[in-house]
Amino acid sequence: MKGSLSMRSLPEKLGALLVLTAAIAGCGAPEPEGGQAATATGGGPELIRDCPECPELVVIPAGTFQMGSTPEETLMAKVPEARARNEHPEVTVTIARPYALGRREVTIAEFRAFAVATGFSTTKGCFGFRDKSWALEPEASWEDPGFAFTDQHPAACVTLSEIQAYLDWLSARTGARYRLPTEAEWEHAARLGTQPVRIWRADDSDACTQFNAADRQFTTQYDENWPSFACDDGFLVTSPAGHFPPNALGMYDVLGNVAELTADCFVAGHAGRPTDASAREDETCNARVFKGGSWAGEPGFLRPAFRVAATPEVRGNGFGVRVLREL
């Protein structure tokens, strides 16, 4: 959460629920019926929205990039060595086709449109931060997370199966294929939008104008020893999607706010991962990769390479999703 359910002590606090390890089709297809494609002018992002209640999307170009981080980067970011190994080694990944990625994290209003249309039944119970640890809030849910919120806040407290049902509904609603981004697709877009990658530090006072992460308000309210920024971003938990400035691709909250679910099974480190941007899969897949950090994110976590694992069906108010639409 402020970091991806902030990762420092979650394994101890949530046990089997959160797995935090030591070290994260056709191009040129026609618009579906009713689609609303909008191409920006003046060098701005190319945007797509397939229906009024659908997430707005940014077209991401194909390309080749270095996935993961170097030991020098994780050392500068003060990432503990056990966790830093999860970002190593760097791997060259090639993405052959462009795709469209959510401009914002899926909001409560967007998820509600699915819930109303399908009769989706909400299950209550979601982990939040309380008394210096993560604890289950029995009455919390995506539509009432237990703190001040608006319809434009990200839809958190949702599980993999619920997110998949939402994606299936979007696909049926629009005729396009919506799915989870793979870890490589997510990181490719994050890197394109944040060049060069900045290593954030606790004394970077401008961080609180850029994203929602662990800040002075967080340590005052929850844990004075939590690594955080020495400033106040204005939000104790999540912030409305799009409140902070967009990145170079016109995307919002890529870092911070809620950690975003990807299609990949979590495997420690990048050795042997696919180099064609496909998802890393495992027959058991006890944990999935979340990217981007959250509202509880420590300074060193707010980088494209940072990755964390959680069980697929865990509910947390720092876990959400950014959708991918194939082009």
Beta bridge partners of 324: 101, 179
How many of the other CB atoms lie within 10 Å of CB of 128? Answer: 23
Three-state SS string over the chain comes to: CCCCCCCCCHHHHHHHHCCCCCCCCCCCCCCCCCCEEEECCCCCCEEEECCCCCCCEEEECCEEEEECCCHHHHHHCCCCHHHHHHHCCCEEEEECCCEEEECCCCEHHHHHHHHHHHCCCCCCCEEEEECCEEEEECCCECCECCCCCCCCCECCCCCHHHHHHHHHHHHHHHCCCEECCCHHHHHHHHHHHCCCCCCCCCCCHHHHHCCCCCCHHHHHHCCCCCCCCCCCCCCCCCCCCCCCCCCCCCCCCCCCCCEEEEEEECCCCCCCCCCCCCCCCCCCCCCEEEECCCCCCCHHHCCCCCEEEECCCCCECCEECCCEEEC
Considering the entire predicted model, what is its pTM? 0.88
pLDDT of residue 24: 24
Q: pLDDT for 221-271, tens place per residue?
A: 999 999 999 999 999 999 999 999 999 999 999 999 999 999 999 999 999
Q: pLDDT category, 31, cuts 50, 70, 90?
A: very low
Residue 42: per-residue pLDDT:
53
Q: Is the pLDDT of residue 103 over 70?
A: yes
Q: Is the pLDDT score of 9 beyond 80?
A: no
In this prediction, residue 39 carries a pLDDT of 47
DSSP lists the bridge partners of residue 60 as: 99
What is the average pLDDT value for the chain, to the nearest integer?
A: 88
Which phi and psi (to 5°) does residue 220 adopt?
-65, -40
The token pair that represents 258 in the structure block: 């809620």
Residue 316 C-alpha from the chain's centroid: 13
Band of pLDDT at residue 283, cut at 50, 70 and 90: confident
For residue 312, pLDDT over 90 is answered with no
| pLDDT > 90: percent of the chain | 80
* pLDDT confidence bin for 282, thresholds 50/70/90: confident
Share of the chain above pLDDT 70, in %: 87
At 278, the pLDDT band (50, 70, 90 cuts) reads very high
Domains in the chain, ordered, with CATH? 10-326 (3.90.1580.10)
Q: What are phi and psi of 165, to 5 degrees?
A: -60, -40
pLDDT tens-place string over residues 108-151:
999 999 999 999 998 899 999 888 888 999 999 999 999 999 99
* Residue 180, token pair as written in the block: 């989870």
Average the pLDDT over 295-324 and give the result. 95
